[in-house]
Amino acid sequence: ESLGSMAVARCLTRRFNVPRLFLVPGRPRAFSDEEDPEAKRRRILEIFEEKERQRAQHKGLKPKLDKNLYRSPLRDPGEENYEEGNLYKNNCIILDPTEHKYTLIWLHGLDEDNTKGGTLLQMTSRDDVRVVVPNAPKIPLTALDEMEVRAWWDIEKENSQGDEEDEEDTAGIRESHQAVLRLLENEEKMVGSENIILAGFGQGAALALHTALRFPRKLCGVMSWSGYLVERDNYPDAISEANEGIKILAYHGRKDNVILPQVVISAFKELREYGLPIDFRLVPQMGHYVDHLQWPQGFDWCMRQFQSK
């Protein structure tokens, strides 16, 4: 970037009060929290189309563009299509492949929605992998003075996820567990449980681990980003015989100040002692987020698990 273009960006930012990220040359336009859902949908499609155009041009192929990236409409509680406990209808993003051989389910983190995960997976998914990115329900969160946010279960205070000293929302955990079980059972009918990977970030990763380890039939694997264990007192008895050898890839940032590394390291060490094959990667400069430099390695790990069976 030239000094001139940066100066213009600063000037425009001051004059029109626009976030500077939108103006720096060479970077994609960011999503605004106030952006209309339909506009956001179109923007995601634009990004996907451009990535596909570049890929096809590099390989000398014709672009394969799916105009129907979103099969389900955007809905929230109280709207016509909302159905409690049905993750397919609660604003679920589904990417259907040309040939459905495998399924990757992604569960988002606390106080987020499925937009980031959906966008990330649209950029990297393959023609034989069906991607399912559900939304958590909106619930009043104790840690935020009962403000309604998307969460898989309630937490007592901020930055307390994974802390054994906090009282866990057992009812909320089990309710979300049941909802994801129904999701898994539906996908299982299409490709078989051994062709499904359950993945997630933060609270979603905790739910992915919780559900996969208890699932009664063999799954392909679990990928956790900034995840942790809930209901730790129930291990190892809670681990199903079918998944006592399930492969787990776990990323965590050394600089994560939301879900502390020492808490997570202790939990995964415990699982390893139970005989679970865990690939735990502590990333030195990563905080509480999915690192864009590590993501391709994580996605490739999922594809290797699918192909190694």
The model's pLDDT over 141-185, given as tens digits with 9 standing for 90+, comes to: 998 888 999 999 999 877 667 666 677 899 999 999 999 999 999
At residue 283, what are phi and psi to the nearest 5 degrees?
-95, 120
pLDDT recorded at residue 45: 61
Sign, CA dihedral 133-300-269-246, equals positive
Cα torsion for 46, 48, 53, 55, to the nearest 10°? 160
The arithmetic mean of pLDDT across residues 103-130, rounded, is 88
Identify the pLDDT of residue 244. Answer: 95
For the cut 60, the answer to whether the pLDDT of residue 126 exceeds it is yes
296: cis peptide before it, omega within 30°? Answer: no
Tokens representing residue 38 in the block: 């339909």
Q: What is the pLDDT of residues 256-298, one digit of tens each?
A: 999 999 989 999 999 999 999 999 999 999 999 998 888 989 9
Cβ-defined contacts of 148-157 (< 8 Å, 24+):
149/110, 149/111, 150/108, 150/110, 150/111, 150/112, 150/113, 151/110, 151/111, 151/203, 152/107, 152/110, 152/176, 152/203, 152/204, 152/206, 152/207, 153/203, 155/110
| Mean pLDDT confidence for 201-217 | 97
- The Cα 283–Cα 294 span in angstroms is 9
Residue 305 pLDDT > 60, yes or no? yes
Of 64-73, 156-165, 232-241, 275-284, the one with minimum mean pLDDT is 64-73
C-alpha span between 57 and 156 (Å, rounded): 51
Least confident of 56-60, 153-157, 208-212, 215-219: 56-60
Enter the pTM of the model: 0.73
Distance CA(141)–CA(149), nearest Å, equals: 7
Residue 90 has pLDDT above 90, yes or no: no
